[in-house]
Amino acid sequence: MTNERRVLVHPDKQALAGSVAARFITKTLDILDDLGSANIVLTGGSMGSGVLAAVNESAARDTLDWSRIHFWWGDERWLPAGDAERNDQQAFDALLSHIDIPAGNIHQFPASDGPLDLDQAADSYAAELAAHAEEGAELPRLDITFLGVGPDGHIASLFPHRSGIQVNDRTVIAVRDSPKPPAERLSLTRPVLNHSDRVWMVLAGSDKAPALGLALAGASRDEVPVGGIKGRKRTVFFVDRDAAAEVPEALIAPSY
């Protein structure tokens, strides 16, 4: 299997969310059949939640054995548990509270109203990742990692011209200088994202087109962090027509 970035274009946000949801169910069924379990990394934002809501609305939702699926997050806002702006709360609202999944399969980042400070929270999540890895490894197998892409090209909470995108000696970092509020966040690092077998980036809107075009044209990860992300087996950009405006025609795939 070649590992190259491909772009799948959809007519609008609704079609985009529905298509990604269907592919998620189909691919996760395959992963469960082949490997017995699945580790999925979730993202926030309107499209991240939209895909999960489309999974929840799918007639095929309960063909998945949710007890064999573990959910993680690429990043989280340092806010109190249950805050509507937290990525995990958005995921619960869209999907997780509607399915039969063991609480131990849902790996949330610590919250700001808990007993840990920001640095301790980063260490705690790193330890949880390691606890689910094979012996001697720092990370579990990551089967599908969902990522959104900001208009500036940021992914997770790794932003342009910030040190986070350059960190390669930690799996989880505390972020204190996010240009998007809140300033304090937790994030997986680039090596963890690139450890994923499949990276699925879901983005919509004309404001995302310049960053996507730059990333696919080879812009540096420091300038456009998404340019430094590539899954080990496959990297796919699922986009709507507006976000695809600056994508080279040769990279647009007619099908998966």
Write out pLDDT tens, residues 164-202. 999 999 999 999 999 999 999 999 999 999 999 999 999
pTM: 0.95
Question: What pLDDT is stored for residue 3 in this prediction?
Answer: 60
Mean pLDDT across the chain, nearest whole number? 95
* pLDDT at residue 120 tops 70: yes
* Number of domains within the chain: 1
CA 210/CA 244 separation, integer angstroms = 9
Whether the Cβ atoms of residue 210 and residue 151 lie closer than 8 Å to each other: yes
- Answer yes or no: is pLDDT of 26 > 80: yes
**Is the per-residue pLDDT at 255 higher than 60?**
no
Residue 88 pLDDT > 90, yes or no?
yes
Task: Report pLDDT digits (tens) over 71-85.
Answer: 999 999 999 999 999
CA–CA dist 193, 199 (Å, integer): 8
Residue 48 forms part of a structural domain:
yes
| Residues sharing a CB contact under 8 Å with residue 39, sequence separation 6 or more, in sequence order | 69, 70, 72, 132, 140, 141, 142, 143
Query: What is residue 153's predicted lDDT score, i.e. its pLDDT?
Result: 95
pLDDT of residue 2: 47
How much is the pLDDT for 46? 93
Is residue 98, in this structure, part of any structural domain at all? Answer: yes
Give me the residue label for tokens 């405006």: 245
CA distance 211 to 242: 12
CB 82 within 8 A of CB 51: no
Q: What is the widest separation between alpha-carbon atoms in the chain?
A: 51
Task: Kindly report the CATH number assigned to the domain that includes residue 107.
Answer: 3.40.50.1360
142 within domain boundaries: yes
- Residue 98: which domain range? 5-198+207-251
Are 67 and 101 contacting, i.e. CB atoms less than 8 angstroms apart?
Answer: yes
Using pLDDT thresholds of 50, 70 and 90, give the confidence band for residue 256: very low
What's the rounded Cα separation, in Å, for the pair 47 and 118? 27
What is the average per-residue pLDDT within 31-54? Answer: 97
Average pLDDT of span 88-93: 98
Q: What is the 3-state secondary structure of 130-143?
A: HHCCCCCCCCCCCC
Mean pLDDT calculated for residue range 147-155: 96
Tokens 């949880």 locate to 128
- Structure confidence at residue 148 (pLDDT): 97
Give residue-wise pLDDT tens across range 203-243: 999 999 999 999 998 899 999 999 999 999 999 999 999 99
Evaluate if residue 113 carries a pLDDT over 90: yes
- Give dist(CA 150, CA 162) in Å, integer: 15
Q: Is residue 256 part of a domain?
A: no
Given pLDDT bands bounded at 50, 70 and 90, which one contains residue 250?
Answer: confident
Residue from 100, 116, 92, 113 nearest 42 by CA: 92
